[in-house]
Amino acid sequence: MVAELLKTTDDLVGILIVGGGITGVLRALREVSFERRTGIKVICRDIGPRHAGVCRKD
């Protein structure tokens, strides 16, 4: 779903994750260029140590 949004929505500025699924969201963001994901904020709760470092990478 996020991969499709990244392909079809030019004005996407944020993704709110209220449940599970952060792994898939981060994977979709890593698959697009740095320029495409710049400016897109990811908001979630209960992020674990496994994902914390990924959120800080370029």
Q: What is the pLDDT of residues 1-55, one digit of tens each?
A: 999 999 999 999 999 988 878 889 989 999 999 999 999 998 887 666 666 665 6
Residues 6 or more apart from 55 whose CB is under 8 A from it?
Answer: 26, 42, 47
Neighbouring CB atoms inside 10 A of 15's CB total 20
Count up the domains in the chain and report the number: 1
Q: What is the pLDDT of residue 21?
A: 81
Range of the domain at 27: 2-56
CA atoms of 12 and 47, how far apart (whole Å): 22
**Does residue 37 contact residue 31 with C-beta atoms inside 8 Å?**
no
Phi (first) and psi of residue 11, to 5 degrees: -105, 25
H or E stretch covering 7: helix 2-8
- Please state the pTM of the whole predicted model: 0.74
